[in-house]
């Protein structure tokens, strides 16, 4: 019997700017972020199963393969909501570092919603997939369509904007685990001296000015994570010293990324970071 197999790519996201406006009554924070995707991706393979079950496997030994996996949760949600009685085996080829601030799990969840929509021929429009995704996590709706977007609300209200000018992105993840809930929990808006501007970042992108984009980068969550984990601050300083054009922490951290326009600089920055940080990636912006 021929088993139907389909594939989806789940790219990592970076936050070019992230501002937190205030804490809401539901415990989430109202944010303004501009997010885009980079060419560092997990690959998901979906195969039909004869039994009505969800089975997750992965080459990575360090992620949960049960109902704690966001891909499992996405599959269960779409099955329940659309009353699907078929089973699926999802194989996750993990490339995105875990708990890194790069939305690895969220992108896997989004890829699962897209993949199962195709595998089971459900014809769910993207907007409905995004609404489903919002039930799984704040970054999931953006990961459904990707591209570049302004995200507001708790991150689920999306306005697409053009892609930033193409460049290299160097990502470095220190060997620490950062809890997103903990970082938001410790955030105090009255301590923030300079808020990054979504409007100015959007304008920089619309102007396709790489220098302006670098100038408008900012993430207020750095105020929490850099104090809690000085190694993230050191990584940022090292990347600036090595010559990256714009350097920022992604999401709640701990990954730090540097934007670099000249290819000739990439190897030097990469090798300089590899001297003291094991997880370093040099990739292109996904445009």
Ligand X SMILES: C[C@](O)(CO)[C@H](O)COP(=O)(O)OP(=O)(O)OC[C@H]1O[C@@H](n2ccc(N)nc2=O)[C@H](O)[C@@H]1O
Binding site members = 97-107
Collapsing DSSP states into helix, strand and coil, what is residue 132? helix
Hey, what are 30's tokens? 């109202």
Q: Is 267 exposed, middle or buried (0-12, 13-18, 19+ CB in 10 A)?
A: exposed
Whether 109 and 88 have beta carbons less than 8 Å apart is answered as: no
- What φ, ψ does residue 161 adopt, rounded to 5°? -130, 165
- Residue 101, interface with ligand ATP (CB under 6 A)? yes
- Residue 55, interface with ligand X (CB under 6 A)? no
**What are the beta bridge partners of residue 258?**
170, 247
Number of residues lying near ligand X (CB under 6 A)? 19
The residue among 92 and 143 lying less far from ligand X, judged by its C-beta, is 143
- Residue 173, interface with ligand X (CB under 6 A)? no
- Residue 4, interface with ligand X (CB under 6 A)? no
Active site residue 19: no
Annotated binding-site positions for ATP: 97-107
CB of 250 to ligand X, least distance (A): 8
CA 131 to CA 253: how far, in whole Å?
Answer: 25
Dmax (CA) for the chain in angstroms is 63
Residues of this chain, 16-45, that bind ligand X according to CB under 6 A: 18, 27-29, 31, 33
> Which residue of the chain is nearest ligand ATP when measured via CB?
105
* Local structure of residue 286 (DSSP, 8 states): -
| Strand ranges (E), 183-272 | 218-219, 246-249, 256-260
Residue of 19, 42, 108, 139 with catalytic role: 139
Q: Of the candidates 88, 104, 160, which has an alpha carbon nearest to the alpha carbon of residue 137?
A: 104
- Residue 102, interface with ligand ATP (CB under 6 A)? yes
Collapsing DSSP states into helix, strand and coil, what is residue 49? strand
Active site residue 278: no
- Residue 189, interface with ligand X (CB under 6 A)? no
Contact range with ligand ATP by CB under 6 A, out of 101-109, 162-170, 189-197, 210-218: 101-109
- Residue 148, interface with ligand ATP (CB under 6 A)? no
Report the residue from 16, 20, 78, 99 that binds ligand ATP according to the rule CB under 6 A. 99
Chain residues binding ligand X by CB under 6 A are: 15, 18, 27-29, 31, 33, 103, 106, 137-139, 154-155, 180-181, 184, 251-252
């Amino acid at each position: 019997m021929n088993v139907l197999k389909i594939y989806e790519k789940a790219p990592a996201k970076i936050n070019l700017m992230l501002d937190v406006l205030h804490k809401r009554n539901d415990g989430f924070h109202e944010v303004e972020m501009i997010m885009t995707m980079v060419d560092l991706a997990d690959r998901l393979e979906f195969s039909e199963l004869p039994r009505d079950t969800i089975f997750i496997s992965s080459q990575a030994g360090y992620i949960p393969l049960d109902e704690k996996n966001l891909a499992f949760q996405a599959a269960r949600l779409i099955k329940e909501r659309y009353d699907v009685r078929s089973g699926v085996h999802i194989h996750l080829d993990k490339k995105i570092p875990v708990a890194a601030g790069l939305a690895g799990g969220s992108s896997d969840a989004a890829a699962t919603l897209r993949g199962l929509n195709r595998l089971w021929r459900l014809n769910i429009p993207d907007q409905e997939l995004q609404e489903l995704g919002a039930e799984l996590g704040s970054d999931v709706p953006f990961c459904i369509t990707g591209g570049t977007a302004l995200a507001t609300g708790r991150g689920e209200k999306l306005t697409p904007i053009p892609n930033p000018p193409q460049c290299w992105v160097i990502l470095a993840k220190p060997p620490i685990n950062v809890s997103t809930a903990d970082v938001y929990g410790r955030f105090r808006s009255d301590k923030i001296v300079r808020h990054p501007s979504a409007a100015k970042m959007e304008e920089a992108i619309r102007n396709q000015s790489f220098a302006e984009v670098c100038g408008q980068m900012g993430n207020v969550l750095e105020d929490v994570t850099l104090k809690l984990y000085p190694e993230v601050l050191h990584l940022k300083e090292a990347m600036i010293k090595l010559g990256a054009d714009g350097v920022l922490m992604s999401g709640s951290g701990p990954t730090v990324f540097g934007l670099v326009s000249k290819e000739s600089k990439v190897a030097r920055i990469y090798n300089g970071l590899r001297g003291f940080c094991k997880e370093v990636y040099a990739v292109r912006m996904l445009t």
